[in-house]
Amino acid sequence: MNQVPLVDYLVLGNQPHLAVNRCTSCGANFFDRRNACAACFGTSFEKADVPTGGVLTAFTIVTFAAPGIDVPFVAGVVDCGGISVRANVINTPPDPEHVSLGMKVRLATYSLGLDDQGTEAVGFGFEPA
């Protein structure tokens, strides 16, 4: 089946992972399309893989969100070997008993469904490790 990632920095395949645009001058990491480096103003970037395991350094449990988003869900920041990643915490109940600061998590993917051409979109989150 054809698959497409939710965002272009999610690399699918046998071992799904995230990849950053890394500034070749100063090593700053970015997830978006770049015009230049915000840290050193350089314009040369290379792809670098982000570790799939990390630690949850901030989170919130969102009860009110945009239409089409199931609530409640856990949004947070995961420190993956020194690279901070914005993501949801998935595959665990969205409550303060099951989600805690400092918990170890790992990357997980899930299906967003098929489009009319039969292509499946794949999203990611982090689940308790």
Partner 1 sequence: MSASEDIWILGIHMTKFGKHPTLDSVDLGAEAIIGALADGGVTMADMGILAAGNLMGSGGIGQQLQKQVGQTGIPVYNVSNACATGATALRTAIMAIRAGECDMGLAVGVEKLAGAGLLGGGGKPKSDEKVWDPSGRYGAVANPDGRIGTNTMPGVFAQIGMEYGHKYGGATFELFARISEKNHAHSTLNPLAAYSKAMTLEQIMGDMMIAYPNTRSMCSANCDGAAAAVVVSGEKLRTLSKEQQRRAVKVSASILTTDPWEEACQILPNVNTLTKNAATQAYEKAGGGPADLDLVEWHDCFATAELVHYDNLGLCEEGGAVEFFESGATWRTGLLPVNVSGGLESKGHPIAATGIANIWEICQHLRDECGDRQIEGAKVGLAHVIGLGSSCGVHILEKSGL
Q: In the complex, which residues of this chain contact partner 1 (CB under 8 A)? A: 4-9, 28-33, 38-39, 57-69, 72-73, 75-77, 82-88, 96, 101-102, 112, 115-117, 119, 121, 123-124
Subset of 7-36 contacting Zn ion (CB under 5 A) = 23, 25-26, 28
Residue closer to partner 1 by CB (options 85, 108) is 85
Region 40-59 residues binding Zn ion, contact defined as CB under 5 A: 40, 42
Instruction: CB nearer to partner 1: give 45 or 59.
Output: 59
- Spell out the residues 6+ positions from residue 71 whose beta carbon is closer than 8 angstroms to its own: 62, 63, 64, 65
Virtual torsion, Cα 67, 31, 7, 78, nearest 10 deg: -70
23 binds, among partner 1, Zn ion, none (CB under 5 to 8 A by kind): Zn ion
